[in-house]
Structure 1
Amino acid sequence: MEVYLVLKMISSMVLVGLLGFLLYIYNSVWLKSERVRKKLRVQGIRGPPPSFLYGNLPEMQRIQLQAMKAPTHHTDNEFVAHDYTSTLFPYFEQWRKEYGLIYTYSTGMRQHMYINQPELVKELNQCITLDLGKPSYVTKRLAPMLGNGILRSNGHLWAQQRKIVAPEFFMDKVKGMVGIMVQSAQPLLRKWEECIESQSQRGMAAEIKVDEDLRGVSADVISRACFGSSYSKGKQIFSKLRCLQHTISQHGFLFGVSNFGSFPMRRKQNEINSLEREIESLIWEAVKERREQEISDTSSSSSSGKDLLQLILEGAINDHTLGEHSSKQFIVDNCKNIYFAGYESTAIAISWCLMLLALHPEWQARIRSEFSQICPDGVPDANSLPQLKAVTMVVQEVLRLYPPAAFVSREAFEDTQIGNVVVPKGVCVWTLIPTLHRDPDIWGPDANEFKPERFAEGVSKACKSPQGYIPFGLGARLCLGKNLAMVELKVVVSMIVSRFAFSLSPKYRHCPAYRMIVEPGRGVHILIQRANAKEDHSN
């Protein structure tokens, strides 16, 4: 009888505890979220009704599964469906059609606001307050990849890092990197020429999957320009960063969806931790090697010869708020950020350029003709680049259709006014860049078509609302590497097109994939031959 009473008492306590916990969740989490939604509703902002605890996650998963079952569009070398948002982010497309260009939704107890209204995007662009920053839950997931470097940090730490890093990417500095870009591209051109030579003996165009070769070029540029070394020295770092990128992107980092606690997830977390340690160790070895080199080379003390790594080192040394461990982490984190951001996005953008040019040989011909007139020796320089109008238009149109970054995201750390909307504290604001870039009201009825000529008179004349073009993000957190990326894209693409003519291989399958950035899911396969051989054959 006593045992029965004890068990009954224990079960009652457990029940009371459970009810208390559920009451706590309801009052402190659900009601808090509901109060935020009410603040948005009174401003006329509505969205799909959330479920208790999970918000709109079940609906997002259901819509995504339906989209995955829908037939996919493959290329027949004549047609590619460029609008991939309905495949990668179908819930956003569905809700946009139901609720308009501004609506709210939730993931768990986290509230979000989606905006693709040009005027609000413009207001977001002009907002310079530190009360808006990268969403904390997203940056937490990306911590193994980016540490607390400039891409992930917020507030005064971000401002401090930007002050150190931004000047290295001002246009006057980037112009001085053109020679490095040319040097980095030349081994790729020779490699492809050798592939063509070996295939031409059998009367065939060479077939090349361009992705890794382009990553090598982009990685070499960032290594030489910012870290005073070649790609070969940093090859392990780039390779492991790519592995880490894929591992993180497999587990719903964007909306906090994961199989937390499951065995596969724990195993993946162990893999992430291991890669993080290896990358940090490799970067620190490179930093120590560079420090030793500086000690032995007194000429490196000249301020005009300093590269980004030296500036990061000095920034850590001169910041007296950093202890020894924090100083080391500051250096490693920012090196990780520059290594990743400096090569991956640019390489992906060049891949998309080649894919679209393969579909449009008339634009290859325009770039080639213009390049031969302006750069008769086949080598672009800082003075000739502004004259290369055709490749500039192509690059701008590629970045419109396939911007590497899919989102602009901000979290309100305090109640924040954006235009006529007050964003409550804790709400995450999202702008889906490819949707903005394909809005017929901004770009016209041909918004989904590849038409570089729309940029003939610059961005301001290409569309009705210039704020509708944001391939490098917007506002105070505009991508610092914009100048570097644009110049590198023009240099590498123009050099490739000046040497080669190419078309899509039958192996190419058009399936854009979101892995932190939007990339060709199965790579870009092209059939390539010398440009003069193509012309001779045509004649």
Structure 2
Amino acid sequence: MMMMMEYLSVTLLLKICLSIGLVGVLSLFVHLYNVLWLKPERRRWKIQRQGIGGPPPSFLYGNIPEMKKIQQQQQQSKAMAAAKNHNNKVDLSSSSSSSSSSISHTDWPSILFPYLEEWRNKYGQMFMYSTGNIQFLYMNNPDVVKEISLCTALELGKPSYLAKERKPLFGDGILVSSGKVWAHQRKSIAPELYLNKVKGMIKLMVESTESLLRAWESSIEGNGGISNIRVDEHFRSVAADIISRACFGSNYSKGEEIFLKLRDLQRAISQRSLLIGVPGVRFIPSKNNREIWRLEKEIRSLILNVVKERREAGYEKDLLQMILESAASNNNQELDENQFIVDNCKNIYFAGHETSATTASWCLMLLALYPEWQDRARAEVVDVYNGHHRPDADMLRKLKTLTMVIQETMRLYPPAAFVSREPSRDMKFGEVDVPEGVNIWIPVSTFHHDPEIWGHDAHMFNPERFAKGIFGACKFPHAYMPFGMGTRTCVGQNFAMIELKVLLSLVLLKFSFSISPNYHHSPAFRLVIEPGNGMELFIRRVD
């Protein structure tokens, strides 16, 4: 009898465990079905009923297979065209006008993102598509974009996938955070990058640039008066040195080591950009993911070592000190103090050097292609500096032509290809209802190259269009967004503009430049738009 009872008890226990297991499996299945299909499908339906179309997605991958297919077709077409002619390689034997016309400044968006171009032609100014279970609403309507730019609600933030997919590079820092976390970070960081504070950094910007000038002078002397230089690498080093000095003060040499590893991390993360939204991809121990995890760990360790040295050494008035004080005053218990410091150091470092370095490279390319503008900008610098070689804030303010050149460069080659937003609740912009969780994808390059906005010469390099400022340059001023838009406009734009003026003015004062025959025009998307094969120029001393 006792054995029978024990048997029944064990049987009952097994049935209970089996039932619990089945309930667990069923619950997991329901959860996955909801996350991977039901919720995205519901969001798509809310958009579709407004008359907004888009390519039909597949399960798990969304439109990724079609995106890859369109990219492959585009690459094949490009390869066939390249076999017939070599227009992408500049011929220095031609005149300046013909060499400048051999490079198109408006084709690169359709080359880098051919699927968006194809869908825009098929579905119109607004359409939806998906990568994995992430839903995107492509928004190319100026009126709706203006509504978005005017929205100040904290519920309209950065896409949540950025904090997940690019967490190793950005963490939960100011570039990708949203809501109250972002508001606290901006309140702490933005005042340190106001114009009056940035003016105090001009000296360190000049000192960093002078090391570049000496290196170029030495290279030119060693090569008979002209040197073939890959300027993007040099600009990246100078920009890293500047942000290292500004952010880490006396520890700037450690900052340079952090920069090199961040650059490697940026390359590694950009390799999986098309797989964003596919469940589990970032957790697979692939070679690329293992490299990302290693770099993330090393960068964190380096930053925390600098922080430890700072705390032991005492107070320094720089961006790092501001981040330390902000972390100490943070009342949000969800944020770990060390993680707050690490994330925002990485964010400031990435934004602080990448935008300036790539824009400076594109600037020099355009001035090399259009020597009349190079001469005009140089004449202005010579006149304003009047024999001085260390500019101050007042001198930089007077560089109107150079400012126009920088603004036109960022129109043709904006650092960021897209402005992205995600509402944490259902929101309405104009006549468009945007469901919670849908990513609004605003194509900066498309707006910057639109003849309806910029006129018939939108495809041309014409800094003169900015002679009366941004409001006089185009039909819709809000369509010009090299530093983002609305409340999320880059807090470092004053820093970037001052840095660019210092760097470019001192280069113009000492050197002239032309396109190297080694240069192949191939813009690439690596989280920012940069020269895919580097920026090689011939550099000479100016008499």
Q: Report the TM-score, using the length of structure 1 for normalisation.
A: 0.89
1:80 counterpart SS class = coil
Per-residue CA deviation, residues 403-432 of structure 1 (Å, 9 max, x unaligned), is 111111111211012222110011110011
Say if 2:193 is the partner of 1:172.
no
- Pairing of 1:287-298 with structure 2 (within 5 A): 287-294=307-314
Provide the residue aligned with 1:75 in structure 2. 89
- Pairing of 1:385-424 with structure 2 (within 5 A): 385-424=396-435
Q: Does structure 2 conserve the Cα–Cα contact (< 8 Å) formed by 1:252 and 1:258?
A: no
Provide the residue aligned with 1:35 in structure 2. 42
Closer, same or farther: CA 434–313 of 1 in aligned 2, 3 Å? same
1:259, 1:75 → 2: CA distance? 41
Say if 2:305 is the partner of 1:285.
yes
Say if 2:497 is the partner of 1:482.
no
1:116, 1:229 → 2: CA distance? 46
Q: 1:261 Cα shift?
A: 8.5
Closer, same or farther: CA 223–368 of 1 in aligned 2, 3 Å? same
Structure 1 residue corresponding to 2:176, chosen from 146, 152, 156 = 152
* Aligned AA (1:401): L
Provide the residue aligned with 2:337 in structure 1. 327
Q: 1:107 Cα shift?
A: 2.0
Q: 1:231 Cα shift?
A: 4.5
Say if 2:137 is the partner of 1:117.
no
Structure 1 runs, 4 residues or longer, greater than 4 Å off: 16-29, 320-323
Provide the residue aligned with 2:291 in structure 1. 271
Closer, same or farther: CA 257–364 of 1 in aligned 2, 3 Å? farther
Q: 1:32 Cα shift?
A: 3.3
| Greater Cα offset, 37-46 or 517-526 | 37-46
Say if 2:511 is the partner of 1:500.
yes
1:328, 1:36 → 2: CA distance? 37
Provide the residue aligned with 2:186 in structure 1. 162
| Alignment root-mean-square deviation, CA | 2.5
Q: 1:165 Cα shift?
A: 0.4
2:71 counterpart SS class = helix
Q: 1:22 Cα shift?
A: 7.9
Closer, same or farther: CA 528–443 of 1 in aligned 2, 3 Å? same
Count of aligned pairs between the two proteins: 505
Say if 2:64 is the partner of 1:57.
yes
- Pairing of 1:164-243 with structure 2 (within 5 A): 164-200=188-224, 205-229=226-250, 231-243=252-264
Structure 1 residue corresponding to 2:540, chosen from 525, 529, 538 = 529
Closer, same or farther: CA 490–262 of 1 in aligned 2, 3 Å? closer
2:60, 2:300 → 1: CA distance? 37
Q: Does structure 2 conserve the Cα–Cα contact (< 8 Å) formed by 1:48 and 1:56?
A: yes
Structure 2 residue corresponding to 1:137, chosen from 161, 176, 190 = 161
Q: 1:28 Cα shift?
A: 6.4
2:475, 2:48 → 1: CA distance? 30
2:70, 2:501 → 1: CA distance? 39
Per-residue CA deviation, residues 247-305 of structure 1 (Å, 9 max, x unaligned), is 11111267335993898x5222221111111111111111111222216xxxx5xxxxx
Closer, same or farther: CA 253–444 of 1 in aligned 2, 3 Å? same
Per-residue CA deviation, residues 210-244 of structure 1 (Å, 9 max, x unaligned), is 12211121112112223213643322101000001
1:254, 1:431 → 2: CA distance? 20
2:534, 2:137 → 1: CA distance? 33
Provide the residue aligned with 1:372 in structure 2. 382
1:259, 1:446 → 2: CA distance? 46
Per-residue CA deviation, residues 24-72 of structure 1 (Å, 9 max, x unaligned), is 7667643433332222122221122223443222211111111111225
* Aligned AA (1:170): Y
Per-residue CA deviation, residues 169-188 of structure 1 (Å, 9 max, x unaligned), is 11111122222211110010
* Unaligned runs of at least 5 residues, structure 2: 1-22, 92-98
Identity in percent? 52
Closer, same or farther: CA 231–254 of 1 in aligned 2, 3 Å? farther
Provide the residue aligned with 1:384 in structure 2. 395
Provide the residue aligned with 1:455 in structure 2. 466
1:432, 1:226 → 2: CA distance? 31
Provide the residue aligned with 1:363 in structure 2. 373
* Aligned AA (1:269): N
Q: 1:336 Cα shift?
A: 1.2
1:125 counterpart SS class = helix
Q: Does structure 2 conserve the Cα–Cα contact (< 8 Å) formed by 1:132 and 1:412?
A: yes
Q: Report the TM-score, using the length of structure 2 for normalisation.
A: 0.88
Q: 1:476 Cα shift?
A: 1.1
Per-residue CA deviation, residues 293-332 of structure 1 (Å, 9 max, x unaligned), is 216xxxx5xxxxx322111111122235449x91111111
Q: Does structure 1 conserve the Cα–Cα contact (< 8 Å) formed by 2:426 and 2:433?
A: yes
1:177, 1:240 → 2: CA distance? 25
* Aligned AA (2:139): I
Q: Does structure 2 conserve the Cα–Cα contact (< 8 Å) formed by 1:47 and 1:95?
A: yes
Q: 1:192 Cα shift?
A: 0.4
1:51 counterpart SS class = coil
Q: 1:161 Cα shift?
A: 0.8
1:258, 1:35 → 2: CA distance? 19
1:232, 1:253 → 2: CA distance? 35
1:446, 1:255 → 2: CA distance? 36
* Aligned AA (1:327): E
| Greater Cα offset, 44-53 or 119-128 | 44-53
Closer, same or farther: CA 131–491 of 1 in aligned 2, 3 Å? same
* Aligned AA (1:172): N
Q: 1:106 Cα shift?
A: 1.9
Provide the residue aligned with 1:342 in structure 2. 352
2:397 counterpart SS class = helix
